[in-house]
Amino acid sequence: RDLSCLSPGDTSVLAGLYGPAEAKISKELPDRAALEVLLRPKVGLPGVLERSREQLLRQTCEAVVLGVLHPRTAISLVLQVLSDAGSLLSCCLNAACMALLDAGLPLAALFCGVTCALQPDGTILLDPTARQEQEARAILSFAIASSDRKVLMATTKGSCSVEEMQQCLAAAQRAADTIFQFYRDSVRRRYSKS
């Protein structure tokens, strides 16, 4: 069991990872670990939006977790939203990666989440606040892998041109370097104390 908390700006997500553990027979996969992602809102029960985000998070994690090393097991990743002031999906992605890394699960690569807000005038804002997201013409969230900065997941809300999407992706890939450096610094601080 591992708990990691990530809070960029005023958005905070607590991530708990459980496993690999024995899987229920109905969920057991013979060739790899079954990965379950649960996203809990700050208040109330999970709705359609949380289920959609759970699927995006699960698919991103499955792309990097070397589940074939743990067949017939279950890995559960529980994300609890503590506060949401914008860029929630990217915060969840970053918390998920930190939890996977901290638990010592074998990974093909690290990943990070970056959210871009495309303003009506075409300006790109990284890590937008909830208010900036409301005013934006489009919100784009990306999961970027540490190896070759390739895109593991992309989702958009609103409308933008292909060129604008490529500009947002380029900005997200540049921002990923800062996040990966944060990961390195966090791990170094954590393990240099022990």
Q: Say which CATH number the domain at 35 has.
A: 3.30.230.70
Q: Which of 9, 2, 1 is nearest to 115 (CA)?
A: 9
| Residue ranges making up the domain that contains 184 | 2-192
DSSP 86: S
pLDDT tens by residue, 56-76? 999 999 999 998 888 888 889
pTM of the model: 0.88
In the chain, the percentage of residues whose pLDDT exceeds 70 is: 94
Number of domains in the chain: 1
**Residues 74, 51: Cα–Cα separation, whole Å:** 19
